Amino acid sequence: MRNKRTLAIVLGAGIAPLLTVGLSAGTAQAHGYITSPPSRQAQCAAGTVSCGSIKWEPQSVEGPKGLRSCSGGNAAFADLDNDAKGWKVTPVSRTTAFNWRLTARHATSTWQYYVGATKVAEFNDGGRQPGATVTHQVNFGSITGKQKVLAVWNIADTANAFYACIDVDIR
Ligand SMILES: [Cu+2]
């Protein structure tokens, strides 16, 4: 009994600040990222690669539409632009499922996938609100070998997009 009460007090003290943080993050910084194959920010969050603050908010790589960088232009997330950080490369097939986890389900214009300057896939949601998880089947066509895929989530009702880079070996 005494142990239970102590636990309740500890939890009570711990939950209030967590809720406060959770709510402010929910309104200002909750968005989405690619979980599999593991994107660079997912590898940061999992501790696969050691990173700066991106490890706490892998869903927050937001920047103006039209960028082609892994960090979305965020200096605080510059780790993501560094190709020499030892990112784990995932072997994938010519057609591969990319999975997003959305912590805020923003109305969506398009989802785009680039390898270098080549847009290999685009999915048009026409302004619809996506589910909490989204999966796209991406066909790489004649592109093979080790590649850095840039995935872009273009938001319908803001000027911004979310960015994620995924290191793959297409076989
Ligand atoms: Cu958001």
User: How remote is the CA of residue 31 from the centroid of ligand 1, in Å?
Assistant: 4
Read off the pTM.
0.83
pLDDT of residue 73: 97
State how far the Cα of 157 lies from the Cα of 30, in Å rounded to an integer.
Answer: 16
User: How remote is the CA of residue 170 from the centroid of ligand 1, in Å?
Assistant: 31
User: How remote is the CA of residue 158 from the centroid of ligand 1, in Å?
Assistant: 10
Q: Give tens-digit pLDDT for 56-77.
A: 999 999 999 999 999 999 999 9
Enumerate residues 6+ apart whose C-beta is below 8 A from 121: 111, 112, 113, 136, 138, 139
State how far the Cα of 39 lies from the Cα of 166, in Å rounded to an integer.
Answer: 4
Q: Give tens-digit pLDDT for 4-50.
A: 444 444 444 444 444 444 443 333 457 999 999 999 999 999 999 99
Tell how strand 90-92 and strand 118-124 pair up.
unpaired
User: How remote is the CA of residue 73 from the centroid of ligand 1, in Å?
Assistant: 16
State how far the Cα of 43 lies from the Cα of 163, in Å rounded to an integer.
Answer: 14
